[in-house]
Structures are given as C-alpha cells and as structure tokens.
Amino acid sequence: MAANTVLYGIPNCDTVKKARRWLDAHGIDYRFHDFRKDGLDATRVKRWLAAVGEDKLINRRSTTWRQLPAAVREGLDKTSAAPLLLEHPTLIKRPVLEHADAIHVGFSPQDYAQLF
C-alpha cells in the first residue's frame, strides 16, 4: 500500500505537520515530497488540476496569492493555472496526497481515516 502513497507540501506548514503526524501515528508508510526543495513538474501539476480543479488546488487565502498582481489573480484560468503554480508552489493548498491513484487536497482526520 505504501510505496504509492506520497504526501506533497512544505515541512513548516502546520497542516502538513498534522497530516504527517496522523500518517505516522496510524503506521501508514508514505514518502514526503517537499515541493520547494524537491520541486514539481508540469505533468504532475496538470494532473492535479485535472483531478481536483484550480478552485480546490489553489490557496486563495495565502500570502503568495495576495501578493500577486490583481491582473494575474483575475486572469487565472485553466491555461494559466499550471505555469503559475510551478512558478509559485506555495499557492498550492497543502498537503496534496497521492494515494491509490487518487489526489486528495488538504487534511482532515476524518478524510484520512476513510482513505486508509
């Protein structure tokens, strides 16, 4: 089960920390991918966008989002979302969990309990 479970995020994010603690406490074998340090590729980001959509994947409450020019925020669409997320990975809601060929964004103990 574990080899295909990957948790994406940044290590200092509180929600990522909660997700990691939950996975560890439940003995779930997973790999952590720090998308600042380890990077992201366009194929993966496009797959996430196709699976969950930009509304769910983009964190519009983040500092990074608020710092973007208004024209960029207002002009965001399916075409511009992937390049923007690759340029600013902290715009991605965290964590992103790839498990059993599915993509899950965010963390809640209830959701993870259902997944595992």
Residues recognised as catalytic: 13
CA distance 63 to 33: 22
6/19 Cα distance (integer angstroms) = 12
Short-list 109, 15, 110, 112, CA closest to 62: 15
Prior bond to 95 cis, omega within 30?
A: yes
Cβ atoms 31, 7 nearer than 8 A: yes
104 residue type, one letter: H
Residue 3 tokens read as 């080899």
